[in-house]
DNA sequence: CAGAGTGATGAGACCTTGTCCCATCACTCT
DNA sequence: AGAGTGATGGGACAAGGTCTCATCACTCTG
């Protein structure tokens, strides 16, 4: 299948550009229409004007088409923590990581989040992948913290708390009515969790659960 | 394929009993010999004297054969937290959950842990499943804590910290030379994490990472 | 003791995911 | 014009996983 040529600037594919983009959009549309399971890779490729072969050249996995940017996110987390000021505390390192990825949460990306979340919420296999993504981000943060000299246990704990803050901040940012920028929400979530972590450490506290 | 009859007491299979057990052992042996990827479900079933059909009747998934008891563990976590004394703090609820599952970590199960861990460590797909299992246990704990009235954020945080303590305690318990009972290790790990969580909450602390 | 019922298994067709190899095409460079 | 390059198409292929139906062992009932 050959599509009409489109002039495009930038280093894109040679035929019709944006093959990866087209596949992502086609997948999201079909998943929303018929559900994730009822949609085959061949159908996605077909709607994008491509074939199954090409799909798997762009995505290692059928699920991957919904979880594209996670590698970049993990890389940015790690980079921000590694390049934070030497005197920064662990909490400040985590906050720096959040600021580093704030660029990915621009208002124009905001519209794509709700349908994507809806598709994931409707399928347990995709929720699993979402959890996996979190674990991946968490271990990237923990590695970077260890690289700064933090001991293993503290690094893992801080990373878990950081990811918890990140994911709840993302959920709030992605809400349809939200206007606040991601950074503000993320910082608030992190501060909130820090306070609650302190409360956890006081078993004599009267706060029975 | 028909095997010689074996007298057996208890509600087992009608033909050769312990089909599920045999499949698990055959799988672990083959995975250790040839690796996870190079072992097909048909081979596992064949070594167990069964067929592919029967394998998928006992396990929803090829990976599932290595991750059997997680449902039970999650159930025990939840049950212990729901039935903890009304005045128990969150930390005490988590500790109660650990005690509830200690029965699963008896010395005779200790020997099966190292080969299983070795197989998982050699395959990323299985490590992913391990992470998924953790997330599953964590959400079971969080649900139970929410059921006691804890707010969402605190419940999730406590569950994450609890699972972190649990998995590091399990790793220590499963070490070949270990003699300590699981409960003692788990409580120590939880206490350790609580202290570090408190330190995280003090950003003015001089502990740069 | 005969026959119906039950539940686990065997057998095999079938679809989808994911891999692999090779031919083909568009575009670029010389 | 011709060679090179890189993305794509096409099809064969293995394995995972689902489904259906027949078969067998065992139990229960009359």
Sign, CA torsion A80/A86/A91/A92: negative
A40: which residues sit within 8 A by CB, 6+ positions away?
A: none
Instruction: For an interface test with B, give the residue of A200, A203, A206 to mutate (most B CBs within 10 A).
Output: A200
Euclidean distance between CA atoms B166 and B29, whole angstroms: 27
Contact present, B190 and A183 (Cβ < 8 Å) = no
Which chain A residues are within 8 Å of B207, Cβ to Cβ?
Answer: 89-90
Please provide the size of chain B in residues: 209
Q: 3-class DSSP state for residue B68?
A: coil
Contact present, A162 and A73 (Cβ < 8 Å) = no
Neighbours of B184 (CB within 10 A): 12
Which A-chain residues 84-123 have CB contacts (< 8 A) with chain B? 86-93
Q: What letter does residue A14 receive in the DSSP assignment?
A: S
B193: which residues sit within 8 A by CB, 6+ positions away?
A: A153, A157, B161, B164, B165
Euclidean distance between CA atoms B135 and B141, whole angstroms: 10
Euclidean distance between CA atoms A92 and A96, whole angstroms: 6
pLDDT tens digit string along B66-87? 998 788 899 999 999 999 999 8
pLDDT values of chain B reduced to their tens digit, one per residue, 209 residues: 333 333 333 333 445 668 999 999 999 999 999 999 999 999 999 999 999 999 999 999 999 999 987 888 999 999 999 999 998 999 999 999 999 999 888 887 787 788 899 999 999 889 888 988 898 899 999 999 999 999 999 999 999 999 999 999 999 998 888 889 999 999 999 999 988 888 776 544 445 55
Joined tokens for residue A26: 């086609």
Which B-chain residues 145-204 have CB contacts (< 8 A) with chain A? 145, 148-150, 153-158, 160-161, 164, 168, 192-204
Which chain A residues are within 8 Å of B209, Cβ to Cβ?
Answer: 88-90, 93, 145, 148-150, 154-155, 158
Distances (CA, A) of B189 to A120, B173, B183, B195, B196: 34, 11, 10, 10, 11
Euclidean distance between CA atoms A54 and B125, whole angstroms: 23
Euclidean distance between CA atoms B151 and B155, whole angstroms: 6
Residue A65 — φ and ψ, nearest 5°?
Answer: -65, -20
B 119-178 residues, CB < 7 A, strand C: none
**Closest CA relative to residue B162, chosen from B84, B207, B98, B115:** B98
pLDDT of residue B69: 78
Q: How many CB pairs under 8 A join A and B?
A: 123
Crossing angle of helices B152-174 and A152-174, rounded to 10°: 150
Q: Per DSSP, what are the bridge partners of residue B208? A: A89
Over chain A (209 residues), the average pLDDT of each successive run of 10 is 35 61 94 95 96 96 90 92 94 95 85 88 88 90 95 93 95 89 95 85 50
**Closest CA relative to residue B197, chosen from A178, A2, A202:** A202
Euclidean distance between CA atoms B34 and B120, whole angstroms: 13
Q: What's the pTM?
A: 0.82
Crossing angle of helices A182-200 and A90-101, rounded to 10°: 150
pLDDT of residue B2: 36
Joined tokens for residue A59: 């995505």
Q: What letter does residue A208 receive in the DSSP assignment?
A: B
Euclidean distance between CA atoms B26 and A125, whole angstroms: 27
Euclidean distance between CA atoms B36 and B57, whole angstroms: 20
Judged by CB atoms closer than 8 Å, whether chains meet at B195 and A201 is answered as yes
Neighbours of B79 (CB within 10 A): 16
């Amino acid at each position: 299948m050959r599509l009409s040529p489109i002039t495009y600037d930038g280093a894109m594919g040679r035929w019709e550009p944006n093959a990866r983009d087209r596949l992502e959009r086609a997948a999201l549309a079909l998943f929303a229409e018929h559900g994730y399971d009822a949609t085959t890779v061949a159908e996605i490729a077909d709607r994008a004007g491509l074939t199954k072969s090409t799909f798997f050249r762009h995505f290692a996995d059928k699920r991957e088409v919904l979880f594209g940017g996670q590698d970049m996110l993990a890389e940015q987390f790690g980079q921000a923590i590694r390049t934070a000021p030497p005197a920064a505390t662990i909490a400040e390192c985590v906050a720096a990581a959040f600021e580093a990825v704030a660029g990915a949460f621009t208002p124009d990306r905001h519209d794509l989040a709700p349908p994507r979340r809806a598709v994931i919420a409707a399928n347990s296999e995709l929720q699993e992948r979402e959890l996996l993504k979190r674990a991946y981000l968490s271990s990237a943060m923990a590695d970077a913290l260890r690289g700064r000299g933090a001991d293993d246990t503290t690094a893992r704990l801080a990373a878990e708390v950081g990811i918890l803050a990140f994911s709840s901040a993302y959920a709030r940012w992605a809400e349809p009515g939200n206007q606040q920028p991601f950074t503000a929400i993320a910082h608030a979530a992190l501060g909130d969790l820090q306070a609650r972590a302190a409360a956890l450490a006081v078993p004599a506290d009267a706060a029975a659960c």
